[in-house]
Amino acid sequence: MKTIRISCYILISFVMVSCANEEIQSIKIKGQYEIELPKTLSKADNLHEDASLQYQNILNEFYTIVIDEPISDFNDLVTQDEYLAESYKPNLTGYSNLLKDNLSVSIKNGKFSNFEDTKINGMDAKLMNVSGTVDNIDIYYQFGFVKGKDRYYQIVNWTELKSKKEHSKAMEKIISSFKELNRSKKKIE
C-alpha cells in the first residue's frame, strides 16, 4: 500500500511539473513585438547587452533573448563597407550569413545546420541550429532571424547540449510565436 502511495505521489508530481512546463506567458516589448515564452522562464538583464528581451531558467539552463536592429543600419553597413559588400547583400540572407559567420568565430567545434527559409506570422525568416563549445561548455542553440517591417530580429534560444532533447520543442514554439506589432503600413489618424 505504501508503494502505491509513493508511486501516485511521483506520478502526480510528474504531471504537475509537465503541466507547468506547458504554461506560457505572452511578453510584449516596447509595443514593437510580442513573443510567447514558457512560464518557467523569468526576466533577466545580464545575458546580452544589446538584447531587448532576456529570459532565463537558471536551474534548467534554458535561455532566450531577442536582439532587434533597424534594417537600414544593416543595409548601410554592408553597402558602405567595401569588405562586407563583397560578402554580404543588404537583405535577410546577408544579415543571417553575417551573424552566422560571426558566431562561427566564437564557438569551438561548431556544427551549423543549413538555413531553413520559412515565414513566421507573415514575416520572412531563416532558422538555424548550432551546437558547439563556448567557455568549455557544450551548448545547443536555435536561432530565428526575422525580417520585420523596419527591423531585423534575432531570436536566440540556448541550453546545454545534454538538454537539447528536453528543450528543443519549447525553443521551436518560442521562435514560431514571434509577432511584430503594428505592421500595417497605413497610419491611422
Written as tens digits, the pLDDT of the chain (189 aa) is 554 554 444 444 444 444 444 799 999 999 999 999 999 999 999 999 999 999 999 999 999 999 999 999 999 999 999 989 899 999 999 999 999 999 999 999 999 999 999 999 999 999 999 999 999 999 999 999 999 999 999 999 999 999 999 999 999 999 999 999 987 655 444
Decide: 174 and 155 in contact? Cβ < 8 Å: yes
What pLDDT does 8 receive?
41
Q: H or E segment at 138?
A: strand 137-147
Which pTM value belongs to this model?
0.84
Q: Give the Cβ contact number of residue 60 at 10 Å.
A: 17
Structure confidence at residue 182 (pLDDT):
81
The rounded distance, in Å, linking the Cα atoms of 169 and 82 is: 40
CA distance 4 to 149: 58
Residue 16 is predicted with a pLDDT of: 43
Amino acid at 76: D
Q: What is the pLDDT of residue 181?
A: 94
